[in-house]
């Protein structure tokens, strides 16, 4: 229903160009959950799966360590995060969530009795490397998720101790139960003692430890320049999201339509947090409600509650200790993931793992229960059911193949895009960017950069046809995302820059005005758009309208020099020199190093 009533149906089905989590992706998540629950019902298979998955985790962790200490880089286009590592995942928060999902599984895996000593040693090294990598992401949401996951493991293991004690008593082996309980308790006490002492030494004796402390402080201490912190930024985004929800309570704005719809609800103070990405709500439940409505959010919540309570309660009654360890590890990873998701957001490269692990845990937990009854086995043994399941598996494999092909095209497109960005020759840059768009037609940035190169070529050669190509390229973005403020803003600025080369300047200014007004429909509190619209009015000598926009600009962000400087220029043209001087003085108070303001004041004196 959310897809049917969505504001942008293409985005609702295929997803936003940066996230790709539309209806199609959610459908695949549920299919993966179902297939994992159906086919991963052998404990031996699950162990093999996780040992195989440990290899990429180890590689990712080792590269993250190399990145922190030696500056290794493989994703230069994304790798500008200061001290925060990203490894192969393109974003430190994504890396943090990836490790949170898998680390509790491998930590709990060490407890398997049948595990050979070489594998246990390997997992210990892996866990240490992954924990350091997690810390080096400086992702506070991921840290919190990991802590909650470990606490869950501790609590559920104490419950497990009680269960073992009771079970041993029932089989007249009370001494074994009593002996086992203290052993596990001592192990956990030693683990936490080492953790606390190691943490204390790390914080007080290393630069890395101080960086961890500073990162935590940054959640609560205001940035001296902006007078805000990242916690207040997320709270503001959540507040803006609730306003969006009020207007789209039942069906939301459509799957993955958040980034397109939220700018309309940006409050004036949002300009202070432009470093915080708003592709999603940075809260899993709020984002689900905003995009798919109250029904989807409650259904998702009900599925999670049912899954965790059933898996925990049933897991206690399993008669295979190894299976208990596997279920506990997966549940802990899932809990850590969900905690982290309340401060980050779901991504197409991590969410499938979460749903697969949920399916596996559900399957393992129900192995010895009535749910996996004879009747259920009979049902799945029916011929028509086998055909349906086989068809579903083949369909999913075909989909995966299509996604793989599409992913290869995306990678090729990104390479061509970067090649175009780095090109010194304009024609060579245009050629690569056009090829990038042929392979992937959705990213806005491709069109924006291509448009700018066409514009540069127009300025260089004096051929007006290049300006036309620049405009047409931007209009293609509007066809793809008609509800996005950004293409209209860039189009307006392009018209504004193009006016100096046009014969009919008024016509070009009118087109710029229309583009800026359209942009403000989707982002009314944009300082940049208000400022540009004011300049457009001033160029057309619509001074009163220009003043209105500059005043709005100043009310949204009182620290923007251009808002006051442009008001001074307007009053100077209206011969109101006293007011002109007043606004120039205000601009000078914000930034005393701008020569143009000083020169304007000298003339008035």
Q: What's the DSSP call for residue 319?
A: S
What 3 state SS string does 108-157 have?
HHCCCCCCCHHHHHHHHHHHHHHHHHHHHCCCHHHHHHHHHHHHHHHHHH
| pTM as predicted | 0.80
**CA 174 – CA 207 distance, rounded (Å):** 51
> Quick check: 340 pLDDT over 80?
yes
Rounded CA separation 14/182 (Å): 54
Instruction: Report whether pLDDT(116) > 70.
Output: yes
**What DSSP element (H or E) covers 577?**
helix 577-590
What is the percentage of the chain residues whose pLDDT exceeds 90? Answer: 47
Instruction: Report the alpha-carbon distance of residue 109 to residue 47 in Å, rounded.
Output: 9
Give the model confidence (pLDDT) of 412-432 as tens digits: 888 888 888 888 899 999 999
Using the CB atoms, write b or e for 140-168: b if 16+ within 10 Å.
bbbbbbbebbbebbeebbeebbebbbeeb
Q: In the structure encoding, which two tokens stand for residue 66, read together?
A: 């190399």
Taking the C-alpha atoms of residue 185 and residue 191, their distance in angstroms, rounded to an integer, is 10
For residue 170, what are its two tokens?
Answer: 């029932």
The region of weakest confidence among 5-14, 270-279, 517-526 is: 270-279
Confidence band, pLDDT 50/70/90 cuts, at residue 375: very low
Report the range out of 65-79, 219-233, 455-469 with the highest average pLDDT: 455-469
Residue with more model confidence, 65 or 208: 65
- Say if residue 403 is exposed, middle or buried (CB neighbours under 10 Å; 0-12, 13-18, 19+): middle
| pLDDT category of residue 216 using cuts at 50, 70 and 90 | confident
Average of per-residue pLDDT values in the chain: 84
Q: Using CB atoms within 10 A of its CB, is residue 350 exposed (0-12), middle (13-18) or buried (19+)?
A: buried
Instruction: Please check whether residue 291 is in contact with residue 254, taking contact to mean a CB–CB distance below 8 angstroms.
Output: yes
Tally Cβ neighbours within 10 Å of residue 434. Answer: 15
Contact 432, 423 (CB under 8 A): yes
Kindly tell me the burial class for residue 203, based on how many C-beta atoms sit within 10 Å of its own C-beta (0-12, 13-18, 19 or more). Answer: middle
d(CA 81, CA 93): 11
Q: Which residues contact 372 (CB under 8 A, 6 or more apart)?
A: 41, 366
Q: Which is nearest to 432 in space by CA: 407, 455, 412?
A: 412
Q: Is the pLDDT of residue 371 over 60?
A: no
Please compute the mean of the pLDDT values over residues 169-190 and round it to a whole number. 56
Max mean pLDDT among 83-97, 134-148, 438-452 falls in: 134-148
CA 15 to chain centre: 13
Q: Which residues in 97-116 are b (16+ Cβ under 10 Å) and which e?
A: bbbbbbbbbbbbbbbbeebe
- 90-94, 370-374, 480-484: which range is least confident on average? 370-374
Q: CA-to-CA distance for 44 and 179, rounded, in angstroms?
A: 28
Q: Binning pLDDT at 50, 70 and 90, where does residue 247 land?
A: very high
* 380 CB neighbour count, 10 Å cutoff: 10
The stretch 517-544 carries a mean pLDDT of: 94
């Amino acid at each position: 229903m959310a897809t049917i009533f969505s504001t942008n149906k293409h985005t609702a089905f295929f997803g936003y160009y940066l996230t790709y989590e539309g209806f199609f992706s959610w459908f695949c998540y549920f299919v993966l959950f179902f297939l994992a629950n159906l086919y991963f019902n052998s404990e031996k298979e699950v162990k093999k799966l996780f040992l195989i998955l440990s290899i990429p985790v180890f590689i990712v962790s080792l590269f993250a360590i190399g990145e922190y200490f030696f500056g290794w880089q493989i994703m230069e286009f994304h790798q500008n995060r200061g001290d925060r590592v990203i490894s192969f995942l393109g974003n430190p928060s994504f890396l943090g969530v990836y490790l949170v999902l898998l680390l509790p599984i491998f930590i709990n895996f060490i407890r398997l009795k049948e595990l050979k000593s070489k594998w246990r040693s390997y997992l210990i090294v892996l866990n240490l490397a992954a924990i350091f990598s997690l810390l080096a992401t400086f992702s506070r949401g991921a840290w919190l998720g990991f802590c909650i996951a470990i606490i869950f493991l501790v609590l559920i293991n104490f419950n497990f101790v009680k269960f073992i004690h009771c079970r041993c008593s029932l089989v007249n082996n009370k001494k074994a139960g009593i002996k086992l309980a203290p052993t596990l308790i001592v192990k956990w006490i030693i683990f936490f003692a080492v953790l606390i002492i190691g943490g204390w030494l790390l914080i007080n004796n290393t630069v890395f430890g101080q960086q961890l402390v500073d990162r935590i402080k940054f959640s609560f201490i205001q940035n001296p320049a902006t007078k805000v912190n990242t916690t207040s930024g997320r709270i503001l985004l959540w507040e803006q999201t609730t306003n969006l929800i009020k207007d789209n309570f039942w069906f939301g704005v459509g799957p993955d339509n958040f980034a397109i719809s939220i700018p309309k609800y940006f409050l004036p103070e949002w300009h202070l947090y432009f470093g915080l990405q708003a592709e999603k709500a940075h809260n899993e439940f709020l984002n689900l409600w905003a995009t798919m409505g109250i029904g989807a959010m409650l259904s998702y919540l009900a599925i999670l509650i049912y899954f965790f309570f059933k898996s925990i309660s049933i897991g206690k009654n399993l008669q295979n200790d190894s299976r208990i360890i596997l279920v506990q590890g997966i549940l802990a990873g899932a809990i850590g993931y969900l905690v982290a998701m309340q401060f980050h957001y779901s991504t197409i490269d991590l969410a499938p793992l979460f749903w697969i692990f949920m399916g596996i845990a559900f399957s393992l937990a129900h192995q010895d229960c009535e749910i996996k009854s004879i009747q259920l086995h009979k049902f799945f043994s029916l011929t028509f059911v086998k055909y349906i399941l086989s068809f579903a598996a083949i369909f999913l494999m075909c989909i995966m193949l299509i996604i793989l092909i599409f992913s290869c095209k995306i990678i090729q497109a990104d390479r061509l895009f970067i090649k175009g960005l780095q090109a010194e020759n304009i024609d060579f840059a245009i050629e690569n960017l056009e090829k990038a768009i042929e392979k992937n037609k959705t990213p806005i940035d491709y069109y924006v950069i291509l448009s700018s190169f066409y514009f540069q070529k127009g300025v260089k050669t004096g051929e007006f046809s290049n300006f036309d190509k620049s405009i047409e390229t931007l209009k293609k973005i509007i066809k793809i995302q008609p509800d996005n403020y950004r293409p209209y803003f860039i189009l307006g600025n392009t018209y504004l820059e193009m006016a100096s080369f046009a014969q009919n300047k008024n016509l070009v200014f009118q087109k710029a005005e229309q583009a800026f007004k359209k942009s403000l429909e989707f982002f009314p509190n944009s300082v940049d758009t208000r400022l540009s619209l004011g300049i457009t009015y001033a160029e057309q000598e619509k001074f009163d309208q220009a003043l209105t926009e500059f005043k709005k600009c100043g009310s949204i962000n009182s620290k923007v020099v251009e808002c006051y400087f442009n008001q001074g220029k307007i009053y100077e043209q209206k011969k109101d020199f006293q007011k002109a001087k007043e606004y120039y003085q205000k601009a000078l108070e914000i930034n005393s190093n701008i020569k143009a303001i000083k020169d304007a004041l000298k003339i008035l004196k």
